[in-house]
Homo-oligomer: A and B are copies of this chain.
Amino acid sequence: MLTTVRDLGAAVRHRRREARLTQAMLAQRAGVSRQWLSGFESGKNPAVELGKVLDVLTALDLALELVSAPPPETGTDVDPFAGFFAERT
């Protein structure tokens, strides 16, 4: 489950290597700069443009799925409609 930019970057790197592609190759296929890809895979920039990321994923024949994340709260709540009480800080 991917919740951070770092996770996503690492996953991409893993996948790229499986596909035996260099950063330069993938970058070109995805239409981004090699340097950008380098930084993204390292996850050092939390503000990477989503569009570019998706371009890279596409170039790797990958896509995203939305999954419900484990609520911080305890237990086994299988409640899709959870969270109707306002949490305020």
Contact = CB atoms under 8 A, between A and B. Distances in A.
Please give the count of copies of this chain that the complex contains.
Answer: 2
A20 B65 CA distance: 22
Name the interface size band of chain A: 35 or more
Contacts of A63: 1-3, 66-69
Contact of A20 (B47, B52, B67, B84): B84
Nearest to A85: B66
A65 B8 contact: no
Contacts of A3: 54, 57-58, 63-64
A29 B89 CA distance: 9
A53 B14 CA distance: 23
B19 A54 contact: no
A62 B66 contact: yes
7 contacts: A4-B54, A18-B81, A61-B83, A62-B66, A62-B69, A64-B64, A64-B65
